[in-house]
């Protein structure tokens, strides 16, 4: 996936049960050593964008929480904003909603799209195995949607959120989660309790983490270690799975794909990302599935996995921002 993180000193190889660098090392004695995504940053008023952020607790029982972003220029409760519920990447094993690596991207997106963003801090594997990541994300969606009644615990969502313009989004593993949350809605595990006040309008998938038993496209000649890491990450999160063609990791094998519960999807792929062919294939299969919606794709030439997270934002990142803003605000 063309990550370029600086190498860290590793433990003695004989102590390691799973080497999933540059993400995580799982030692034979059970110790977990995360190599990236551990640096956090507090919520703030961003001096560059003027976007405000705050952290909220969703479930005291599980510790589920989120970081909310609000464009600072909003002046009236009469001017409601669309809501993007965002799921961060990290292979299901690293990163949090409070990681420093996600903050610049989400600040800029909140400003340019004039969107309230709820970035979900779902629990990570291997401490918390499947289906925790999906169940935490669904719990966060229900918590956010309750604010459509204007009786929720969070004033920003009560006062400024338009849940008739609700979006899901995420990069990498977070893109996988965003898709699966859309499937839950499409399959009837929906938000009917809130009536017409909540509507999933669209889903944004940035370099989504999908895979499969049969290699496709550039995967065939890709570095074996890189391919193995992608498979092992899924096994670490979901050790009980029977096949990489499980629809949770390979949506092309899902006979109910046509029931995806939104009206439009935006897929972003990067030329140097090993996951690029999975994103393209998802785009093709969804479009042919009988789903009654529109799917678009953005291709970033010369870029690697998650390139959009790292300022200064290059031309391809700017193009992605513009595409997401148009997608959210209906300007396509």
Q: Under the phi-then-psi rule, with left for phi > 0, alpha for psi from -120 to 50, and beta for the rest, what region is 26?
A: beta
Catalytic residues: 172, 273, 305
DSSP H or E segment with residue 237:
helix 224-237
Q: How far apart are CA 320 and CA 113, in angstroms?
A: 12
Q: H helices within the chain, ranges in order?
A: 103-113, 132-145, 155-160, 173-186, 224-237, 276-288, 315-329
Q: How far apart are CA 212 and CA 239, in angstroms?
A: 16
**What is the strand order of the sheet 32-34 is part of?**
16-20, 24-27, 32-34
CB-CB contact of 94 with 36 (8 Å): yes
How is residue 291 written in tokens?
A: 């789903």
Q: How far apart are CA 71 and CA 116, in angstroms?
A: 7
């Amino acid at each position: 996936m063309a990550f370029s993180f600086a190498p860290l000193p590793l433990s003695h190889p004989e102590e390691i049960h799973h080497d999933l660098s540059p993400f995580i090392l799982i030692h034979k004695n059970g110790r977990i050593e995360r190599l990236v995504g551990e640096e956090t940053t507090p919520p703030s008023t961003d001096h560059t964008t003027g976007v405000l952020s705050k952290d909220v607790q969703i479930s005291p029982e599980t510790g589920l929480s989120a970081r909310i972003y609000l464009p600072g220029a909003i002046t009236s409760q009469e001017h409601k904003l669309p809501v993007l519920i965002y799921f961060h990447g990290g292979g299901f094993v690293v990163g949090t909603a409070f990681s420093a690596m996600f903050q610049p991207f989400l600040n800029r997106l909140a400003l340019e799209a004039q969107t309230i963003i709820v970035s979900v801090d779902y629990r990570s594997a291997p401490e918390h195995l499947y289906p925790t990541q999906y169940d935490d994300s669904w719990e966060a969606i229900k918590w956010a949607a309750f604010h459509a009644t204007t009786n929720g615990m969070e004033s920003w969502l009560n006062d400024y959120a338009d849940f008739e313009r609700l979006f899901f989004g995420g990069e990498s593993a977070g893109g996988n989660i965003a898709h699966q949350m859309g499937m839950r809605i499409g399959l009837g595990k929906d938000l009917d309790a809130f009536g017409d006040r909540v509507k999933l309008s669209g889903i944004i998938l940035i370099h989504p983490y999908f895979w499969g038993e049969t290699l496709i496209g550039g995967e065939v000649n890709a570095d074996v270690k890189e391919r193995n890491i992608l498979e092992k990450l899924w096994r670490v999160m979901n050790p009980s799975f029977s096949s990489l063609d499980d629809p949770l990791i390979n949506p092309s094998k899902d006979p109910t794909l046509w029931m995806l519960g939104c009206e439009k999807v935006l897929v972003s792929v990067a030329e140097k990302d090993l996951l690029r062919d999975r994103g393209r294939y998802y785009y093709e299969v969804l479009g042919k599935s009988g789903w009654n919606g529109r799917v678009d794709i953005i291709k970033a030439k010369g870029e690697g996995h998650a390139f959009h997270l790292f300022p200064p934002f290059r031309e391809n990142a700017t193009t992605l921002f513009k595409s997401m803003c148009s997608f959210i605000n209906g300007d396509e």
